[in-house]
Copies of this chain bind each other. A is one copy, B any other.
């Protein structure tokens, strides 16, 4: 097989009954019908359907040498710049189809990261992790599983290392070693899509010292493993999904993130990909975060397209689309959006192969960080511009239920209509779309914090830029050096991942 349809994914998830999933304090028995989670299921579903729909089929499928057949790209390993470019293009396209975060990237990036990390270990002589991992990937690809990736620990006191925390479980750790596997404990926060996946791949969240060895572990588990508990997080405007309407809350168009609690969960050895390898944790994080930061170019520019389109439509509805200041603002939105995307393309094209074998093509870390750092800023600008054009009704529009109440329906239709070819309903629908995208966690908060908060990118960019080389250039030009400086065109240093 290797390629499931969206419906097959939904059926698979529906029957995964043992996972302990909580939404707003209540245990959920079927995520595919739960009003809070169903939109997430639909977004995930779109990543499967993409492999069959005409306009995405080519982007969404790729041949895997590991299983010898085509697989869904979301479970593939990158072997070329073209693969990385296809990633951001696919993500942009899927944003158009879902209008939200489709939640399948973290697992994907986790696979690509673990390929490199386990292969590095194998190249150094420790082959067991790589063997485990390749078997796991083959299984994932063949079954076309939906994966989450879990990296961010709850962290307790941010300024302390894992082993120094007052709460020893503030980072996920191994608490018992058995013949057949290990027992892990702790919690991972902000886990995208966690309640609607088949499995989750767990990774350490930071560089570690020797004292932190018990925290330097990576593994994969099915979501319904005993001891797994998931508390789904709330999002801006989420309660509207539960109202039973179809416009105000756009109940088909959301993602979720959640708290993954590992309450003494058993992991068999063959699913362990890193065990107390504290020296590898830092590199793993660098590899993963660069992969994940590159991806933002696609999904967030895709959401930007949605917002630009909605704004343009609203400007038409009230008859101002041709005003020069409206056109200027729309152009600014386009410019900001394409800037983010450009950087992601550069991060893809300028990537390099870090290790041998059927994977291991990594992004350019400098441009990946640039991409994500742009994403921490520009969506707020784009949102503001969209609000400016859309008009104040964005914050004051009536409910869809008002439009259904015969006492006031006619009045609302009369007074909410802008130019005659549109109706009050089209205006309301478009306002709700803009509200629920431009003022969503997916577009704002998540753009700031996903794949590491702004400061994380700044630290990376600072490390990757070779300021000493730049200084030598300056000295030469200032007449303080004897001859032109000979070094890389871009004064970039090698990343840690590239050094070894």
Contacts and interface: CB of A to CB of B under 8 A. Distances in A.
Contacts of A158: 318-320, 418
Contact of A310 (B449, B453, B474): B474
Which among A400, A404, A478 has the greatest number of chain B C-beta atoms within 10 A? A478
Contact of A236 (B236, B404, B486): B236
A470 B320 contact: no
Contact of A239 (B239, B324, B350, B366): B239
Interface string A292-318: 000000000000011111101100001
Which among A54, A381, A414 has the greatest number of chain B C-beta atoms within 10 A? A414
Interface in A332-349: 334-335, 338-339, 341-343, 345-347, 349
A122 interface: no
Given A92-B489, A257-B395, A415-B154, A388 B441 contact: no
A41 B363 CA distance: 40
A245 B242 CA distance: 15
Contact of A396 (B258, B342, B374): B258
Interface in A438-479: 439, 441, 444-446, 448-450, 453-455, 458, 461-462, 465, 467, 469-475, 477-479
B309 A474 contact: yes
A355 interface: no
A96 B449 contact: no
A306 B470 contact: yes
A318 B461 CA distance: 24
Contacts of A411: 187, 229, 231, 261, 263
A113 to B, nearest CB: 19
A251 to B, nearest CB: 11
A168 B420 CA distance: 13
B328 A404 contact: no
A59 interface: yes
A467 B330 contact: yes
Interface in A373-402: 373-374, 376-377, 380-381, 383-384, 387-388, 391-402
A54 to B, nearest CB: 7
B487 A159 contact: no
Contacts of A408: 22, 229, 231, 261
Contacts of A461: 331, 334-335, 338
A129 B310 CA distance: 45
A233 B415 CA distance: 14
A429 interface: yes
Interface stretch (A23-31, A71-79, A140-148): A23-31
Contacts of A455: 325, 388
A425 to B, nearest CB: 9
Contacts of A173: none
A59 to B, nearest CB: 7
A259 B412 contact: yes
A1 interface: no
A59 B430 contact: no
B157 A319 contact: yes
A418 B430 CA distance: 40
B429 A398 contact: no
A45 interface: no
Interface in A223-248: 229, 231-240, 242-243, 246-248
A486 to B, nearest CB: 4
Which among A234, A319, A399, A450 has the greatest number of chain B C-beta atoms within 10 A? A234
Contacts of A485: 96
A166 B420 contact: yes
B349 A387 contact: no
A352 interface: no
A99 interface: yes
A422 to B, nearest CB: 10
A253 interface: yes
A292 to B, nearest CB: 13
A167 interface: yes
A306 to B, nearest CB: 6
A400 to B, nearest CB: 8
Given A24-B399, A261-B408, A430-B474, 7 more contacts: A25-B399, A55-B486, A263-B411, A305-B470, A377-B384, A387-B449, A430-B480
18 contacts: A22-B398, A25-B403, A169-B414, A231-B411, A234-B398, A235-B396, A237-B237, A246-B479, A259-B412, A305-B473, A310-B478, A324-B325, A345-B349, A345-B367, A388-B454, A395-B441, A430-B478, A439-B444
